[in-house]
Every structure is written in structure tokens, then in C-alpha cells.
Amino acid sequence: MATAAVVSGERESYLNAKYGLKSWLLTVDHKRIALLYLISITFFFFIGGFFALLIRLELLTPAGDLVQADVYNKLFTMHGLVMIFFFLIPAVPAVLGNFLIPLMIGAKDLAFPRINLLSWYLYMVGGTLMIYTILAGGVDTGWTFYTPLSTEFLNTNVISAALAAFVAGFSSILTGLNFIVTIHRMRAPGMTWNRLPLFVWAHYATSIIQILGTPVVAIAIVLVALERLLHLGIFNPALGGDPLLFQHLFWFYSHPAVYIMILPGMGIVSEIVCCFSRKRIFGYKAMALAVLGIAVIGFLVWAHHMFVAGISLYAALVFSLLTYFVGVPSAIKVFNWTATMYKGSITYQTPMLYAFAFIGLFTIGGLTGLFLASLGIDVHVTDTYFVVAHFHYVMVGGMVVAYLAGMHFWWPKISGRMYPEGWGKLAALLVFVGFNLTFFPQFVLGYMGMPRRYHAYPPEFQILNVLSTAGATILAVGYLLPMVYFLWSLRYGAIAPANPWGAAGLEWQTTSPPPEFNFENQPVVTWEAYNYDEIPEPEEVPVAH
Amino acid sequence: MANHFPNEAEATHDHISSVGSSVAIWLILLVFTGLTVGAAFIDLGPLNTVVALTIATIKATLVVLFFMHVKYTNEKLVPLVIVSAIFFLFLLLGLSMGDYATRVWR
Amino acid sequence: MFQHMPLWPDSASKMSGHVDELYIFMLLVTFAMTGLIFAGVTIFAVKFRKRKGRHAEQIEGSTLLELTWSVIPFGVMLIYFVWGAVIYFRERTPPQNTAEVYVVAKQWMWKLEHMEGQREINELHVPLGRDVKLIMTSQDVIHSFYIPAFRIKQDVLPGRYTTMWFHATKPGTYHLFCAEYCGTQHSGMIGSIVVMEDRDYMAWMSGSGSQPLAVTGEKLFSELGCVTCHRSDTQGRGPALAGVFGQPVLLEDGRTVTADENYVRESILEPAAKVVRGFKPVMPTFQGQVSDEQLNALVAYVKSLNQPQAAQGTVAAITRQP
Amino acid sequence: MHTSSTAVAENHAHDNPALLHHFSTEAQQRNAASLGMWVFLAQEVMFFGGMFCAYLVYRFKYPADFAAASKSIAILPGAVNTAVLICSSLTVVLAVRAAQLGKRKALVAWLLLTIFLGLVFLGIKGYEYHDKYVEHHIPGPSFHFDGDLIDHPGVPASQAHTQMYFSLYFAMTGMHALHMIIGVGIFAYLAWMAWRGKYGAEYYTPIENSGLYWHFVDIVWIYLFPLIYLIDRHK
């Protein structure tokens, strides 16, 4: 980061307000904490991605010949744990949310800056435990920690992995708490609820899930660890326990956790679609209500992960029906984004390309989710590659693509530099193509019946698996490129103006990068969100040379 | 409103509870504790659990309203937070138990 | 090309056709919806691209449109729900008079035992055109019995029975997978389901000299001393078991349970848990004294008591009834 | 709670040293701290909720064994502890009141009394845990439960299911006791700070928020007491 501070040294900003390692590690500035998160999250993303590549390489051939079965099991377990708890859940909220929410609502900082720093340290403690777990030989429970396998039948590092998830969970809870209080208490004069950017609404809904869902999985994970240590029997059928209780507690959080991952992404896409269409969002109220609706209804559907697990027939019917209710607000979001483009004045900058990709991939991810909500289909395709494909369409096609969209959109604000547009477009294309090639064949594999978490598989599944692995390599290049050109832009990128895209929103009214306390003068808001009719289009977006 | 920070004018902390009312609530809580212990020894059939939980809920409500000053707050948000916590707790308990209660084999 | 790269799984049971029909319906809807969105995004992106002299036209939204694209998808989703629920309901309610196979899963193999006493490992022979019910339990962790060609799957749990049933319609050999991650050799916990014409099946059946499961159970029943209390008259200290299976049982605490496989199993392992009204909870537990296979045999025996012929020890014949 | 306990003196021109730089008014800061605490408590509700859910499920599955196990627990220490906690809630209320009125010594005294009551609770809890140890009621290899089913004298309760009860007993009361210990620690810190005159009528947010936390812990016990001690006690 020293580079960034030196480079943009001429302009006063949060980056060069203070110097030295201490000024970063003990900072309470939400923008600096966001950068700390950005670095640590990127680190974990590439660790999780490395595991993913090894998984895909192993699956190139039907026989389990690259790694042993136990190693393979560790790979997919740690891929899941790292990606979910250390990338997907914190990524958008802790990096972009942290950086942008105070700016978007016209506040100097989050309500509790030191708790914000504590969140990052908790994340790092959890992350260290995760790294320890990996280095100490890994863990092979699957990220779901299903009992009694995790409690009685494995002798890998389950406890340290559980603790890692537990601590990271509290980091997430505190982030959510900070956002809720900030959005309620720190809005600038005139920033009423009806004027909040949808990005903020999305984070508000996300925070509700983080606060009310995470503790339940935390206690479930604690009980798993205790059960391993003391053999309490709470989830052990040999002692009268019910393994399905663990699944209930686990999915009570872990299904809504999917919405922790995707809702902030939806917030990003709303901002970007409006900006590059020069339009108000189509149906602001519906969009805001939809994210809240998804967050709340998301709590009612968890047992759809358990349709073949041995739950009651009636419970299965109820949870299946409730699951469809989530479909409605999701459909509204997709249609409204599309409708927002209608009669716009659309340009195709990199963030917008990612937003297009998001709309398409999220549509596929959402529609295939409806297959899984349907009991008769779910019985066949649950625990197969169909599920793997579905949730990667939502998590990677949705959330990661949205994250990249957001990183490109706000990179000028964060770093004060423009990234090279051509390379950006190329990376977006690679991500889109690579992603579809990786995961689309998995839908077919799933319906054919290839179970997930299989180290070796029958030969008739090979060709589709080869396609998938080929896609994964393209995807990997698509992910490495932005990493490279973002770093490059820190030194060589064109200096970003305050508002390179001509975007609405308070964050664009301060300098790029913003000063330490965000605004020179306390902003007072007198306009609705996305007032693109009042904002001139940018003359020329500065490009890197 | 437009030129003020949200909630700037509202102050939630101005209530100072009187010693008398606090002691009164304290006494009621002790009495209810005695009641619940006493009721536990009387056979009311399935009502025993209902009575015990009702008394617990009354006690908890008293603590929330008076000791935690919720009764005196002019802030609508705090009750909303409490209600949503209880609502989601009941979702967890209710929907999980819904599965157990309707299984053919329990 | 498609010989080496099939894109559609075998369809070999009564249920698989129904699942495929719903799946195809959903695929069509999905293609239509995805096409709509992709077309919308593409057309708008091209038609309304930035041009000199043209400005974006601000639109606040339209409640009518929003209602349309909430209500119509929801209607379609309700079709998904009802259709899927009907299939699921049929999958979860086995018909009467099925052939029964007891399944014991353990890391990392499937142990299967037919009513007639034949035992198999990782391979299950079943007759064509007959209803077959699997009564499954696990010795260790959660497994999942998955036959893609039949489109059915059911988790197999330790400490209780789960059941599933199917009706094979096409002779052949099909994959059997463990679908719930169960430890190191999870992907090795595979096998095959061999669907045979009735004649071949009978021949295969008679090939081994094993005795019917219920007969094994009957022997165990007397060896373990069950017979001293559970006498066939009503004078025993325990309830008489003839005709009990599948019937509702009134319990001491006023509840009523159905005497299914799980109830019989629990009554052997946890006798005090659900005591029949009119009896004292005096039965000792057999936890740790009987294996899962022996439990299966006992359950099969208790079931066989529902049939009048059972007394003559001709249980094997019963299961062959169509 | 953490943020407001000390002031960062940089870059603000406010008069009150307790007002942090990113807030514009004291009311805004207090409202934020209060809301933060309530949201934190909502999180706590769900944290305990997971265990309550487990309790509910197993009590539903094994009512007779749970009743037998519950009856083996002496009711008196539990009832006394309930009373002790209720008393400590009162002392917390009075501590907050003393802070609001700016009475430093009274504030310190009430806080110390609260700490004392908290320690009494933990002491009694420890005594009960010791009882369980002596009776071999601690889940694990040495666990042994002698009691009979209440409705059927002479018929022993299930070892596995009574152990389940005690597993939940220790998980729930243990997690509650951990919260008590944290609470006592916080109050010890606050008492020290109060003695140094840190809090007064102008600024008492930490006292108030810690009080909320303490009352919440009290409420958890108000539910744990009947659920653990009083099930089918009449039989």
C-alpha cells in the first residue's frame, strides 16, 4: 500500500494522511480498514482458487490419480471453508460496504470505528486459524461439518477449522452490527430512507442476516467442537442425539448466508446499471423492498437442503413452498434491472459488462434454484453436480462477478487511479466465457447423476468434466488479470477525477481518493437517489496509457 | 427534519428510574420466582410447563420494560429490534419443531 | 459421439419418467425465461446505446409491470411446487406388498439383505416390474442411497431406519452411488443395481441356500429370550406381536404411534421410550447386544407375524407374492 | 460500547471530550451506542436460541428421561441463584441511576455490589457443578445416572437420554456462566473507571449499555431456571 500512498502523494487523501505500518494496522478509518480487508480477502481468494484448480485438475480423469482420496476430500473442504467464510461472506460488505457506506450516506465514518477494526482483527484471527488448519494437514469434513462424521469419525483438524469459522463469524456479526447502526444513525441531513442508494439498502438487509443468522451457526459449530472434545452426544445418534438437528441449526444460518453473499452484489449491480444507463432505477421502492424481502423470507426456507435427509414429509412440503416465495423478489430484481436499461443511454464500460454478466448468470442461477426447490427434482439432483453448478452460478456468476463489477466501478474512488479499460473488458469477457464453460457442463453432469465430492467417477462423465476443467483455467486467467492491472494502475494508471463515470451518489462528490474524513464539508442531501437527469454525462473517461 | 441528522433531536437516555418503582419491580420479580417454584410442585398436568413459561415471560417482560427502560424510550427502533429478535427465534424453534412434530417416527 | 458422452441419464423406473417430464417442463420454462432476459438485456443494450443528441428518458417504474412480473413467475412456480410435491409424495409413500430389502450402510460399503435371506455387497439384484422397498440404516455416519437411473435418493442415517421404494421398468445394470459425503472413500462407496426379468431373478434367488430373514429373526427371537414375554397368547408380560406391525399402538403416555420398522427397532433398543398402554416398562434394553443385521432380522420376523402362514415358517413364500 | 469509553481527540472542535470525531452531536453518539447494544443483544438471543432449540427437540423426544434427570437436580440452589440474579439486576438499575445523577461513590458501590452478587451466583453455580461431578452427572465416560423414570419407579431412566439432558444443562448454563464472567469483568473495569470519575450525568453510556447486557443475561436465566429445574417437578 505504501506505493499507493506515495504515488498519489501530491493530493491529500486518506491514503497519505498518515504514514507507517502503525497508521494502517491501528487505523480506525473505514477506508483504510476496507483496504486491509481487500488485501486479506484477495489473499484468501487465491488460496481458495488454488484449491479449486487442484480439484478441477484431479477431475480431469475419471480415476483418482492426481491426489489421494483423503487429499481430495481436504481440497474441496478447504476450498469451501476458505471461499465461503473468508471470501464470499466478507468480500463485498467488508471491502466495498466498509469503504462506501459512510461515503454514500454522507458520514465521516461507521458508527463504531474501533469495532470495525476489531472485526478485521477477528477476521485475521479466524484466517490465521484457517491457515493453521491448512498447514497442520487440513480438514476433510466438507464445509458443512455434517455430524456424526465431523464429530466422531475423522481425525483431521476439525476443531481448529470450526474455531476459524466461529471467529470469522463474529467478525461478520460485528460488521453487520456496525452497518445497521451506521445506516440508522449516521445519515447526512436530508438522506432519508427513500433517498438511500440501493447499495446501502442491500447492505442493510445483509446485516440483518449477519446479525440474526450467524450466532446460530456459531453455537452449532461450538457444539461440534465440544462434542469432539467431550463426546456430549448432542448430535451423535449412538448417544440419542439427532444428526438432523445439526443440519437444522447449520442451514438456519447457511442458507440465509447465501443471501449475505448475493444481496450486496445486487446492490452493486443496481448502482452500475443506473450509472451506465444514465437512468433512475426502475421501481426504487420495489427494489428496496425486494432486498428486505429476500433477507426475511430467506430465513424461512433452510430445510430445502434436507429434503432427502430424513425430515418429515410435511416439513418438506412447507419448506418447498416457502422456498418459492424467495423467487418473487428475486424475479422483481432481475426484471427491474432489465427495465432500467429501457430508453437509457447505455455505454459499455467494464463495470457495465460485468453487470450484464451478473444479470444473465444470476438469472440462470436463480432459475436452476427453482429446480432444487421442487421436491421431485431435488430428490434426484441434490448432492449432485447440479447443485454444485447452481450455487456456483449464484456465488461466482452472481457474487464474484458483482464484486469484480464493484471493484472496477469504485477503483478510481478507492485508489485515485484509472485501470486500463481494454484489459478490463478482456478480463470481463474471459470471466464470462470461462465461468460458463466451467459450470454449465456441471448442470448436465448433475442431472446425469454424478454425485458431488467424488474423487473418482465413472468414465462416461469424463468429457463434461474435461470441459469444466478447461473452463476453470480460462476463469483463472480472468481472475488474475484484474489483480495485475489494478496493481499496475496504482503506479501507471491515469489520475482519476472525482467522478469519472458521471455517477450519482454522494461518494462521487468528494475527491478521489477521498480525504481522511470523507467530505470537506458536511453534505446535505436534497435529491433522490439516481438523479441522472440532473447529472451531466462525463465528457471523456480518462484512460490509462 | 431535512437539515438535521436523523434522530438528532430524540434523546433516549433521559429517563431516570425512581428507586421506589425499581424496588417495586424487584419485589414483583422475587414474588414471581417464588410463585414459579411453588407452581412446579402442584400437578397441573401439561399446564405446568405453560405456567412456568408464562411466569418466565412475565418476568422477562418486566425486566425489559422497566429495568432496561424500554417502557420509557421514545425510540421506536428498540422495540423493533426486540420484536425481530423474538420473531426470528420463534422461526428457528417453530420451523425446526415443525419437522420433529410431524415425523412419522419421532 | 454420444455413446461416450451421454447427456441424459438412463430412465429405468416408473418414477424416472415422471421426474423427467417435470424436468423437461422446467427446462423449457427456464430456457424461455433466460432467453427473455438475455434478449431484453441485449436488445436494450444495443438499441439504447449512447448516441449523440439522445438522452436517457427517465422512468420511475410501473407498479402494474412489477405486479405482472411477480405474479406470473409465482404462478409458474406454484406449478413447479405442486408437480414436484406430487412426485415427492409418491416417492415417500411406498405401496403395499412390496418386496423388501434391508440395507446396512457402513464406511464404505453397502450391505444388502433380501427378505429371502440372500446377502449382497455393493450389488443389488431386483426383479423387473415389481415394487421393491429398501429399509435402510447406517452403522456409522450419514450415507445416501442414490440410483440416478431411478431418479431417487434417500439419506441413510445411523440410529434409525429410512425407507425408499422403486419399481424398475427396464432390465439392465445401473449405478448405485453414495451421495452424502461420508469420509475418505466416499467416491468408492459405489455399486450397481441389477434389474432382472422375473425368471432370471427367480433363478438367481434360488441359487443360494440362505434362509429367509424372518426365519433368522425367529431364531434370534427365541435365543434372546424375547419369546418368554412376547408370547403369542395375551398372557405375556409384553404385548403379543402378531398382527401388530403397521397398526397404530396406544402408548402409556396417551400418544399413538404406528408400529413401523423404526418403532420395532426403537422398542428393542430403547424399550422404555414408547411403552404400550397396559404394560410395564420392564423390558431390558438390547442396545449393544444385537447388530444392525440382527435387528433387521428381528424386524423382519415381527413383520412376518402379520401373515397367517408365518407360523409355519414359510415366510419366504410371502415375499414372492406379486 | 467500546468506542465510546474513551475519546479520540483528533480533528474535532466539540466541547465534550467524550464526543467522538465522527459524530456531530452527543445525542447522535448516545443513540448509536444504545442501538448498537440492542442489536448486539438480538444477536445474543439467537446465539442462545440455538441451544434452546436443541433443548426443545430433545425434551420433546425424551420427555420421561428429561423429567427424571431434572428431578435429580436440587431446586434450592437454582431458586436462590434466580433471586441473586434478580437482586443484581436491581443493583445495576440503581448503578445506572447513580451515574445519571452523577453520584460517583454510589455508582461505585452499586457496581461493586453487582459484582459481588455476580460472584455469589457463580459460586453457587460452581457448587452445583461440583455436585454433578460427585454424582457422576458430567457427560462423558464416567457418566452414570441412577434415577428411575418418575412415572415408573423401578424402571431406570436411559443413560444416553439423561446424559443428553446433562450435556444440554452444561452447555446452556456453561454458556450463561461465561456471559456472567464476562459481565463481572466489565463491571470490574467500569467500577475502576467510575472511581476515577470517568462517568457522570454527562456521560454514562458504558454503564447503561453494560447494564443492558447484564439484564439480558438475567433474562436468559429467567428462562433457564424453569426449563432446567422445574420440568415435571410435581410428579
Domains defined along chain C, listed by start: 10-34+63-210 (2.60.40.420), 213-319 (1.10.760.10)
State the count of interchain CB pairs (< 8 A) between B and C. 11
Whole-number Å distance between alpha carbons of D128 and D80: 12
Closest CA to C182 of A156, A150, A458: A150
Tell me the HSE value of A408 on the side-chain side, using a 13 A CA sphere.
31
Neighbours of chain A (3+ CB pairs under 8 A): B, C, D
In percent, the amount of chain A with pLDDT more than 90 equals 92
If you average pLDDT over every residue of chain A, what do you get?
94
D40 part of contact set with chain A, CB < 8 Å: yes
Summarize pLDDT for D163-175 with one digit per residue, the tens: 999 999 999 999 9
pLDDT at A93 over 90: yes
pLDDT of residue A542: 61
Quick one: how far is CA A64 from the chain centroid? 31
Is B13 within a domain?
Answer: no
Whole-number Å distance between alpha carbons of A509 and A532: 14
Contact indicator for C135, C111 with CB cutoff of 8 Å: no
CATH number at residue D172: 1.20.120.80
- Tell me the shortest Cα–Cα distance from C268 to chain D, in angstroms: 13
pLDDT at D11 over 90: no
Helix or strand holding residue A212 (H, E): helix A198-230
pLDDT at C280 over 50: yes
pLDDT of residue C285: 84
Q: Which residues of A touch B88 (CB under 8 A)?
A: 212, 299
The pairing of strands C123-127 and C99-106 is unpaired
Q: List all residues 6 or more positions away from A283 whose beta carbon is below 8 Å from its beta carbon.
A: A332, A336, A339, C60, C61, C62, C63, C66
Whole-number Å distance between alpha carbons of C227 and C220: 10
Note the helical H segments in A231-312.
243-277, 284-297
Count: domains in chain B: 2
Global model pTM greater than 0.80: yes
Q: Which amino acid, A356?
A: F
Residue with the bigger pLDDT between C53 and D181: it is D181
- Tell me the shortest Cα–Cα distance from A245 to chain D, in angstroms: 7
Per-residue pLDDT band at C4 (split at 50, 70, 90): low
**If you measure CA to CA, which chain B residue comes closest to A295?**
B88
The answer on B60 and B22 residing in a single domain is yes
Q: Which residues of A touch B7 (CB under 8 A)?
A: 184-185
Neighbours of chain D (3+ CB pairs under 8 A): A, B, C
Per-residue pLDDT band at B104 (split at 50, 70, 90): confident
pLDDT of residue A23: 92
Substitution target in C253, C262, C264, C270 with the highest count of B β-carbons within 10 Å is C262
The answer on B80 and B61 residing in a single domain is no
Quote the radius of gyration of chain B (alpha carbons, Å).
20
pLDDT at C6 over 90: no
The answer on B47 and B79 residing in a single domain is no
Per-residue pLDDT band at D9 (split at 50, 70, 90): very low
Residue C233 C-alpha cell reads as 397368547
Cis link prior to A329 (omega < 30° from 0)? no
The answer on B86 and B49 residing in a single domain is no
Is B86 within a domain?
Answer: yes
Please state, as a whole number, how many other Cβ atoms lie within 10 Å of the Cβ of residue A491. 11
Whole-number Å distance between alpha carbons of D231 and D68: 9
Q: Which residues of D touch B56 (CB under 8 A)?
A: 222-223, 225-226
Summarize pLDDT for C220-255 with one digit per residue, the tens: 888 888 888 888 776 778 888 888 888 888 888 778
Count: domains in chain D: 1
Per-residue pLDDT band at C39 (split at 50, 70, 90): very high
Task: Note down the domain range covering B80.
Answer: 73-106
Using H for helix, E for strand and C for coil, what is the string for chain C?
CCCCCCCCCCCCEHHHHHHHHHHHHHHHHHHHHHHHHHHHHHHHHHHCECCCCCCCCCCCCCHHHHHHHHHHHHHHHHHHHHHHHHHHHHHHCCCCCCEEEEEEEECCEEEEEECCCCEEECEEEEECCCEEEEEEEECCCCEEEEEHHHCEEEEECECCCEEEEEEECCCEEEEEEECCCCCCCHHHCCEEEEEECHHHHHHHHHCCCCCCHHHHHHHHHHHCCHHHHCCCCCCCCCCCCCCCCCCEEEECCCCEEECCHHHHHHHHHCCCCCCECCCCCCCCCCCCCCCHHHHHHHHHHHHHCCCHHHHHCCHHHHHCCC
**If you measure CA to CA, which chain A residue comes closest to C66?**
A332
Is D34 within a domain?
Answer: no
**Measuring CA to CA, how many Å separate A497 from each of A176, A502, A511?**
31, 10, 7
Summarize pLDDT for A388-408 with one digit per residue, the tens: 999 999 999 999 999 999 999
Contact indicator for A62, A457 with CB cutoff of 8 Å: yes
What does the buried/exposed string (b/e) look like for A280-313 if buried means 16 or more CB atoms within 10 Å of the residue's CB? bbbbbebbbebbbbbbbbbbbbbbbbbbbbbbbb
Whole-number Å distance between alpha carbons of D92 and D83: 14
B3, B100, B102 member nearest A190 (Cβ): B3
Please state, as a whole number, how many other Cβ atoms lie within 10 Å of the Cβ of residue A492. 14
Quick one: how far is CA A257 from the chain centroid? 10
Within chain B, what is the greatest distance between any pair of CA atoms? 63
The answer on B24 and B63 residing in a single domain is yes
pLDDT of residue D6: 34
- Portion 50-69 of B in contact with D at CB < 8 A: 52-53, 55-56, 59-60, 63-64, 67-68
Whole-number Å distance between alpha carbons of A81 and A75: 10
Q: List all residues 6 or more positions away from A526 whose beta carbon is below 8 Å from its beta carbon.
A: A190, B2
Q: List all residues 6 or more positions away from A43 whose beta carbon is below 8 Å from its beta carbon.
A: none
Within chain D, what is the greatest distance between any pair of CA atoms? 78
Summarize pLDDT for A215-241 with one digit per residue, the tens: 999 999 999 999 999 888 899 998 889
Average pLDDT over residues C84-93: 95
pLDDT of residue A269: 97
Mean pLDDT is lowest, of A33-42, A190-199, C83-92, C254-263, for C254-263
Dihedral of CA A112/A113/A119/A121: which sign? negative
Average pLDDT over residues A351-378: 96
CB distance B63–D46 less than 8 Å?
no
- Portion 251-310 of C in contact with B at CB < 8 A: 257-258, 260, 262-263, 266
B2, B100, B102 member nearest A190 (Cβ): B2
pLDDT of residue C212: 87
Contact indicator for A169, A200 with CB cutoff of 8 Å: no
Whole-number Å distance between alpha carbons of A453 and C181: 7
Q: Is A521 left (phi over 0), alpha (psi -120 to 50) or beta?
A: beta
B105 part of contact set with chain D, CB < 8 Å: no
The pairing of strands C109-114 and C119-121 is antiparallel
Is D40 within a domain?
Answer: no
The answer on B68 and B25 residing in a single domain is yes
**If you measure CA to CA, which chain A residue comes closest to C155?**
A309
Is B35 within a domain?
Answer: yes
Cis link prior to C108 (omega < 30° from 0)? yes
Burial of B2 (0-12, 13-18, 19+ CB in 10 A): exposed
Second CATH level (architecture) for the domain A25-534 = Up-down Bundle (1.20)
Summarize pLDDT for A186-201 with one digit per residue, the tens: 999 999 999 999 999 9
The answer on B60 and B26 residing in a single domain is yes
Please state, as a whole number, how many other Cβ atoms lie within 10 Å of the Cβ of residue A400. 26
D74 part of contact set with chain B, CB < 8 Å: no
Q: Which residues of C touch A454 (CB under 8 A)?
A: 177, 186-187
Whole-number Å distance between alpha carbons of B25 and B20: 9
Contact indicator for C306, C318 with CB cutoff of 8 Å: no
Mean pLDDT is lowest, of A311-325, C142-156, D144-158, for D144-158
Q: List all residues 6 or more positions away from A312 whose beta carbon is below 8 Å from its beta carbon.
A: B98, B99, B100, B101, B102, B103, B104
- Tell me the shortest Cα–Cα distance from B50 to chain C, in angstroms: 18
The answer on B77 and B44 residing in a single domain is no
Residue A519 C-alpha cell reads as 467530505
Q: Which residues of C touch B104 (CB under 8 A)?
A: 258, 260, 262
Using H for helix, E for strand and C for coil, what is the string for A455-471?
CCCCHHHHHHHHHHHHH
pLDDT at A28 over 90: yes
If you average pLDDT over every residue of chain C, what do you get?
88
pLDDT at A68 over 90: yes
Please state, as a whole number, how many other Cβ atoms lie within 10 Å of the Cβ of residue C53. 4
Please state, as a whole number, how many other Cβ atoms lie within 10 Å of the Cβ of residue A213. 30
Q: Which amino acid, C70?
A: S
Q: What is the three-class DSSP state of B17?
A: coil
Per-residue pLDDT band at C313 (split at 50, 70, 90): very low
**Measuring CA to CA, how many Å separate D125 from each of D81, D91, D171, D176?**
8, 20, 13, 10
Is D69 within a domain?
Answer: yes
Contact indicator for A453, A73 with CB cutoff of 8 Å: yes
Q: Which residues of A touch C44 (CB under 8 A)?
A: 338, 341-342, 344, 346
Sheet holding C191-196, edge to edge: C123-127, C191-196, C172-178, C143-147, C152-156
pLDDT of residue D207: 95
Q: List all residues 6 or more positions away from A3 whose beta carbon is below 8 Å from its beta carbon.
A: A490, A491
Contact indicator for D73, D228 with CB cutoff of 8 Å: yes
Place of cell 457496581: D111
Whole-number Å distance between alpha carbons of C26 and A310: 26
Contact indicator for A145, A224 with CB cutoff of 8 Å: yes
Residue A138 C-alpha cell reads as 487440513
Closest CA to A77 of A152, A165, A167: A165
Contact indicator for A272, A92 with CB cutoff of 8 Å: no
Give this complex's ipTM: 0.91
